[in-house]
Amino acid sequence: GESVGLHLPTLSVQEGDNSIINCAYSNSASDYFIWYKQESGKGPQFIIDIRSNMDKRQGQRVTVLLNKTVKHLSLQIAATQPGDSAVYFCAERANQGGKLIFGQGTELSVKP
């Protein structure tokens, strides 16, 4: 069935380093992708999104890359800080206003 998965369930980085979190998706009809950050005991927080007609989008310290050829999505965090420690989820949406399918999540741990 349709699924969104992640290559790495946990990621540990040194403060100041760049982080890369990966995600694979299987539904070629998905037209919109989002990265969420979830801290313990809280709801997901929107980080950045990208439409399927783009391959890169930058935000503040974050960049999302989309490779539709291999159905791969990544989130890059520059100069990772302790406050970035959280679980990161990618999500895909197959149609306008449609439901989101979430990946399994990657736990990012930032060492001071």
Partner 1 sequence: GAVVSQHPSRVICKSGTSVKIECRSLDFQATTMFWYRQFPKKSLMLMATSNEGSKATYEQGVEKDKFLINHASLTLSTLTVTSAHPEDSSFYICSAIHAGTGQKTQYFGPGTRLLVL
The answer to the question of residue 72 lying near partner 1 (CB under 8 A) is no
- In DSSP notation, 8-49 reads -SEEEEETTS-EEEEEEE--TT--EEEEEEE-TTS--EEEEE
| Shortest spacing between CB 1 and partner 1, in angstroms | 10
Binding mask 81-110 for partner 1 (x = CB under 8 A): --------x------xx-xxxxxxx-----
CA–CA separation, 45 vs 39, rounded Å?
8
Q: Are 2 and 101 in contact (CB under 8 A)?
A: yes
The answer to the question of residue 37 lying near partner 1 (CB under 8 A) is no
Q: Which is nearer to partner 1, 36 or 80 (CB)?
A: 36
Among residues 49, 62, 63, 109, the one that binds partner 1 under rule CB under 8 A: 49
Q: Are 26 and 87 in contact (CB under 8 A)?
A: no
Q: Which residues bind partner 1 (CB under 8 A)?
A: 32, 34, 36, 41-46, 49, 51, 89, 96-97, 99-105
